[in-house]
């Protein structure tokens, strides 16, 4: 109740600030000049508004940019409960506690403080390299974290001076539009700038295509699965692609087994296994296999027997459409609670159950496919080398994320070299690779095939060099 009141008061204050600010700046009725606080019916309108916003933004100070970024971080933090609930209500995948947390932690996404300039001085003077904006960026976001990806992208991209047009996943478009409205309204109140973020209200594959082709878009940033990653890589524009993963975990005989089990459950259960970095299959050596499975059971896992596993597998995957193709994932089960998956096969699990798990072999489709649901297959391996080779095979060279639990530095090195993944986590849950329980900063767009890695404000910049000849070296 108190929270609701606080939120209502904040909204009123924002509206008043907007109106006060606008007396000297623009529309007197507290409404934006065009669109609905950044939400537009067509791609052309969204791009035009973002271009006009870019022309204004490039004339404003870094301090104003910082204010805009702060608005996004603050709203994500302070309104996380409401926005997280709205996202879950709309997408119907994942977990409320994690939907909320994914918004609260947007404050860990780097903004203006990450920017820098480089300088070199010598006999021929001083040369400065500055990291300049591209202009209008076209961004595609996934349903698995609709608003968090959008918000994280905005923090990075606006910090580096760009404006953005979003084409969200159609199943997460309502919450994405709501976020854009709230961000723009607050940014306008704080800075007078409009439409730094624009979005297509009813996104489709056609509107995505229009963004890919639009002359007003300077750079594409795509976060999603194999289809959209391929489409972006084939585009004529420069694209930064945060593509799919199927992160394997190797556990060898030297691992701290309780720590490994707790970390696997924590990572795999996060938002019901929707994270692209989330643990998707485990390769554990025979010497500790049974011990590990017992520990997973003690840490929130519920073990299925062979028959139950076969039943769930049949529900979760249809046969490939063509011989040798991918098993077809049942989207109805994606992001559902472990208890819901269990109930589908007539099993009741304790209330605290985080994941379901079982021993399988590699022919079970849960091993090669990115299931995005809280069932984890555990495959028994002869030794660490065998486990590492299987991990390499089933990561499919996405070069996204891999994880090892081991105290053997040699095994870590062999796996790190072979996997060649963007994130390689040792002795922790997958989130440690994004600074959550490990060192480093957070982003929801991890650029994998195009190589930029965990994106940050500098990812969305062009380098510009400014050379002063023969002067300004001052010693
Ligand atoms: P998805 O591929 O179904 O959709 C992602 C976005 O692409 C949506 O906006 C969708 O409308 C659009 N899209 C899909 N096909 C398209 C096409 N041919 N042309 C243009 N646009 C197209 O993925 P999803 O289910 O929303 O998200 C989950 C996937 O995203 C998983 O594969 C996951 O690994 C990946 N992902 C990767 C990262 C990363 O940082 N690398 C982050 C989050 C999710």
> For each of the chain's 475 residues, which pLDDT tens digit applies?
444 565 555 555 555 444 444 433 444 345 666 679 999 999 999 999 999 999 999 999 999 999 999 999 999 999 999 999 999 999 999 999 999 999 999 999 999 999 999 999 999 999 999 999 999 999 999 999 999 999 999 999 999 999 999 999 999 999 999 999 999 999 999 999 999 999 999 999 999 999 999 999 999 999 999 999 999 999 999 999 999 999 999 999 999 999 999 999 999 999 999 999 999 999 999 999 999 999 999 999 999 999 999 999 999 999 999 988 999 999 999 999 999 999 999 999 999 999 999 999 999 999 999 999 999 999 999 999 999 999 999 999 999 999 999 999 999 999 999 999 999 999 999 999 999 999 999 999 999 999 999 999 999 999 999 999 999 999 8
Contact (CB, 8 A) for 424 and 402:
yes
Atom index in ligand 1 nearest the CA of residue 204 equals 11
Contact (CB, 8 A) for 250 and 403:
yes
Pairing status of strand 355-359 against strand 328-329: unpaired
Quote the ligand 1 centre to 313 CA distance (angstroms).
23
- Ligand 1 neighbours, Cβ below 6 Å, are 140-144, 168-170, 205, 208, 223-225, 227-228, 231, 242-245, 276, 370, 444-446, 448
Nearest CA to ligand 1 atom 34: 244
3-class DSSP state of 355: strand
Nearest CA to ligand 1 atom 16: 228
Interior/surface letters 16-44, b for 16+ CB within 10 angstroms, e for the rest: ebbeebbeeeeeeebebebbebbbbeebe
Q: What are phi and psi of 356, to 5 degrees?
A: -100, 150
Quote the ligand 1 centre to 142 CA distance (angstroms).
5
Residue 312's alpha-carbon distances to 208, 348, 372, 409, in angstroms, are 34, 14, 14, 37
pTM equals 0.93
């Amino acid at each position: 109740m108190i929270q609701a009141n606080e939120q209502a008061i904040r909204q009123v204050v924002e509206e008043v600030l907007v109106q006060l600010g606008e007396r000297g700046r623009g529309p007197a009725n507290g409404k934006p000049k065009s669109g609905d606080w950044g939400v537009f019916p067509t791609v052309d309108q969204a791009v035009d508004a973002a271009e006009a916003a870019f022309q204004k933004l490039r004339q404003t100070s870094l301090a104003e940019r910082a204010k805009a970024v702060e608005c996004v971080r603050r709203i994500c933090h302070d309104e996380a409960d409401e926005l997280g609930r709205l996202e879950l209500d709309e997408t119907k995948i994942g977990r409320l506690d994690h939907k909320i947390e994914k918004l609260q932690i947007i404050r860990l996404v780097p903004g203006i403080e990450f920017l820098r300039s480089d300088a070199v001085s010598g006999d021929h003077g001083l040369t400065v390299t500055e990291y300049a904006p591209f202009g209008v960026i076209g961004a595609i976001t996934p349903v698995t974290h609709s608003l968090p990806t959008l918000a994280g992208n905005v923090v990075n991209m606006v910090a580096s001076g760009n404006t953005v047009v979003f084409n969200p996943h159609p199943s997460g478009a309502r919450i994405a539009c709501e976020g854009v409205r709230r961000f723009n309204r607050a940014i306008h109140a704080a800075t007078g700038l409009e439409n730094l973020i624009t979005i297509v209200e009813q996104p489709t594959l056609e509107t995505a295509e229009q963004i890919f082709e639009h002359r007003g878009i300077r750079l594409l940033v795509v976060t999603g699965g194999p289809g959209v990653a391929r489409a972006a890589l084939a585009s004529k524009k420069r694209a930064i692609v945060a593509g799919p993963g199927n992160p394997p975990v190797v556990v060898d005989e030297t691992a701290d087994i309780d720590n490994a089990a707790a970390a696997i459950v924590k990572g795999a259960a996060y938002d019901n296994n929707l994270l692209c970095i989330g643990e998707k299959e485990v390769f554990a050596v025979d010497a500790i296999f049974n011990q590990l499975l017992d520990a997973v059971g003690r840490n929130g896992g519920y073990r299925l027997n062979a028959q139950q596993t076969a039943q769930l597998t049949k529900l979760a995957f249809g046969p490939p459409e063509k011989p040798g193709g991918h098993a077809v994932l049942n989207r109805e089960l994606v992001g559902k609670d472990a208890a819901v998956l269990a109930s589908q096969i007539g099993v009741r699990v304790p209330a605290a159950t985080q994941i379901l798990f079982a021993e399988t072999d590699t022919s079970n489709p849960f091993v090669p496919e990115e299931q995005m649901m809280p069932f984890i297959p555990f495959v028994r391996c002869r030794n660490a080398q065998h486990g590492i080779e299987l991990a390499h095979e089933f990561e499919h060279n996405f070069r996204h994320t891999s994880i090892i639990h081991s105290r053997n530095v040699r095994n870590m090195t062999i796996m790190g070299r072979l996997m060649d993944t963007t994130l390689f986590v040792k002795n922790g849950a997958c989130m440690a690779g994004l600074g959550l329980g490990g060192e480093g900063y957070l982003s929801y767009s991890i650029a994998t095939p195009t190589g930029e890695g965990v994106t940050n404000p500098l990812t969305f910049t062009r380098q510009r060099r400014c050379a002063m000849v023969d002067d300004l070296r001052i010693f």
